[in-house]
A and B are shown apart, each in its own frame.
Chain A
Amino acid sequence: MAEEIYFEDIHVGDEMPVLVKGPVQKLQHVMYAGASGDFNPLHTDDDFAKAVGMKDGVISHGMLIMGFVGQAMTSWIPKKYVKRFGVRFAGMTRPGNTITITGKVTDKRLEAGENLISCELVASDENGDVKVTGHFDAALPSKG
């Protein structure tokens, strides 16, 4: 659970608590398809995935991995403070992959009366292959 966190407590270079997710299971793809409404069979049907060139079968929804990154972010910085959250999808995730999400504070500043922090994010698998890179901005309360 995210605890109260103040602008003064965060410094450039601080690292986000690491979150490890998985191993990803095919069942999770089915759950995510139902939750999100993304029923592209590339994520749930091995025969279909192989027919379109994925020799090992289904791949994960990119948005599921973004969801993992969002979980890491809001386990640290409460959801209500997040102003902007974006990712770039860099590689495909497959069932069996264990995804580790790390992050680092890159900037903090006062802007338009808000105490803003910027962080960069990376999600990679057990081999170190990067799946997602991302960033978020949050406006934090001040002790002052």
Chain B
Amino acid sequence: MADKAKVGREYAPVTWEVERGKIAEMAKAIGDPNPIYLDREAAIKQGYKDTPAPPTFLTVPMMWSSSMPAVINDLNINFMMVLHGEEEYEYYREIYPGDKLTGAPKVVSIEEKTNKSGRKMDMVTIEIVYTDEKGEKVARSRSLLVERK
């Protein structure tokens, strides 16, 4: 059961260097043939500085660094009972190869809800603001985790 005392807690930041190959790998795994993710020249022709990261790329730093599993663990959420309820991104600029992104997961809220069949669930919202090496905001992610009880 999610530990409500941890609302407001901010976890250690993760810094992640974005690689061109990882951007292409993500696009290929999704099966997105858009050349902007694979070919620098094609991306530049369409008004980008380089191959931009696909819209859901920000899942990569948190999962590969094991930061998100560590947060779930610290919140005492039962990993077997957790579902990903919602995910939202706000983009302030494109993410390109060579960017060094830093983001610290923050627990925004933990609320108990009861679903239609009377089952109780904890709704845990985690927000991460990503900045670049100059400290400028790049994007914000908001994840809703649902722990069934």
Report A's interface with B, CB cutoff 8 A. Answer: 1-2, 21, 28, 31-32, 34-39, 52, 62-64, 66-68, 70-71, 73-75, 78-80, 82-89
Report B's interface with A, CB cutoff 8 A. Answer: 22, 25-26, 28-32, 34-36, 46-48, 52, 54-56, 59-60, 62-66, 80, 83-91, 94, 142
A34 to B86, CA, bound (A): 22
Q: Which applies to chain B's interface (DSSP): helix, strand, loop or mixed?
A: mixed
- Give, as a whole number of angstroms, the nearest-CB distance from A49 to chain B: 11
In the complex with contacts A32-B29, A32-B30, A36-B26, A66-B87 CB distance below 8 A: yes
Partner of B56, one of A2, A39, A52, A66: A66
Residue of A nearest to B30 (CB): A67
Residues on the B chain within 8 Å of A63, using CB: 56, 59, 84, 87
Residue of B nearest to A138 (CB): B91
Residues on the B chain within 8 Å of A68, using CB: 30-31
Apart from A1-B46, A67-B55, list 17 A-B contacts with CB within 8 A.
A1-B35, A35-B25, A36-B60, A64-B29, A68-B31, A70-B30, A70-B56, A71-B31, A79-B36, A80-B48, A82-B91, A83-B91, A84-B89, A85-B89, A86-B88, A89-B86, A89-B87
